[in-house]
Structure 1
């Protein structure tokens, strides 16, 4: 059972050089992802005078995020696992793949990476707004909440199947591509409704820099619930008794 593998971890683990290197990798990868994703939307909006909120703008956002996430996951995969997303980290924690303290370290790095990316965009574009995620006209809070749960479930389930499952074999080679593709596809599906975040860090950075928090809880609660459910489902159904033990304080 996944619940039996959940571990708090130790201070020694959270401050070990390997853990700090992993957190730095998460910071850099999240910065790369958010800078490219947010930057593409801002660039398209500038070139088309507000055209980001059009079908073409949605396709551009989907492609940019898919490419950027493919790279962000790839460059961090061998260091931190390439989570680049607090919801992925939470799903991994629920399945016993990362301790609570190390997960918190990842969260801090991811949120800082997203915030720094938005600050850099604010400076580089001479003050152009980094738009916070928001609901489209006619879309209710609970509609967006369900969207975020379902989309993030698909994302974290893909992470489990292609990256975390010990039985993945050669499928692990395409994990970054599969993860990028599912995010791009979900943006095409949900982007016109609530922006299709699937990632609390991606929502947090622009919200903090623009200081726009309306309905922000949706972009935390939905992804975390969706990621947690994906972790539980995959662990309970497909990955029983296939784990190696998590590191303990004796390993540091």
Structure 2
């Protein structure tokens, strides 16, 4: 992924109506995703009277996040590319698919969508807590960082393979479906250890509304590192043009 791919962009580009529409699309999609994902956890907590996470709760979280992400990606794909995740946007920026200033518009939309979703949830549930992400017992910061790196690597690699690669062909709804499935599967893996964020926006809203910021940086560093590694590998191995060997006439 050559450094020449990276562009800063211009203020005029970032304020263009199409860019603002894309940012608003990311706001709406992230709001829908976080409202359903975080809300399902709150509903489960209410039904089980605040009992600790159980296998049933983990499966419910995986399903709700998978269904919601499929929808969120599908409805914003045409307007913004369906990132719904600051880490995905960062990988797109590193790969040259989006300029830095445009990425900032996306990030603002994604983070704002998450915060608004959590505020709506707190109001609609009569003041229930929007629980912030945190590490489980005996899970260290290093453990959680590796989990977030690997899980986000799988997510962003899937995004590049199904939605970014120009050779993917016309795969229609397969892209959002594959993206939703890998997130749901990763929640089954990491949910019991660190909540399985893979998405800084998902943990940002609950942290803002709850005021709990313990180990919050892990949920930014891990996804951004995993996204960068996935983007570098996929772009340089599968999307780069092979060099033509010189032809010699004998």
Runs of 5+ in structure 1 lacking a partner? 243-252
What is the SS of the residue equivalent to 2:155?
Answer: helix
Q: Distance in 1 between matches of 2:203 and 2:218?
A: 10
TM-score, normalised by the number of residues in structure 1: 0.94
Deviations 1:142-190 (A, max 9, x none): 0000000000000000000000000001335310000000000000000
Cα contact 1:70–1:179 (8 A) shared by 2:
yes
The CA deviation at 1:138 is 0.6
Q: Is 1:210 the equivalent of 2:210?
A: yes
The CA deviation at 1:3 is 1.9
The CA deviation at 1:52 is 5.8
RMSD (Å) for aligned C-alpha atoms: 1.1
What is the SS of the residue equivalent to 1:156?
Answer: helix
What is the SS of the residue equivalent to 2:111?
Answer: helix
The CA deviation at 1:48 is 1.3
State the partner residue of 1:82.
82
State the partner residue of 1:180.
180
The CA deviation at 1:51 is 3.8
State the partner residue of 1:162.
162
Q: Distance in 1 between matches of 2:154 and 2:94?
A: 16
Aligned residues: 242
Runs of 5+ in structure 2 lacking a partner? 243-250
State the partner residue of 1:65.
65
Cα contact 1:200–1:223 (8 A) shared by 2:
yes
Q: Distance in 1 between matches of 2:171 and 2:52?
A: 35
State the partner residue of 2:223.
223
Q: Is 1:95 the equivalent of 2:91?
A: no
Q: Distance in 1 between matches of 2:229 and 2:8?
A: 20
Deviations 1:176-215 (A, max 9, x none): 0000000000000000000000000001000010000000
Q: Distance in 1 between matches of 2:56 and 2:182?
A: 19
Q: Distance in 2 between matches of 1:3 and 1:63?
A: 38
TM-score, normalised by the number of residues in structure 2: 0.95
The CA deviation at 1:56 is 0.4
Cα contact 2:74–2:173 (8 A) shared by 1:
no
> Which 4+ residue blocks in structure 1 deviate beyond 2 angstroms?
170-173
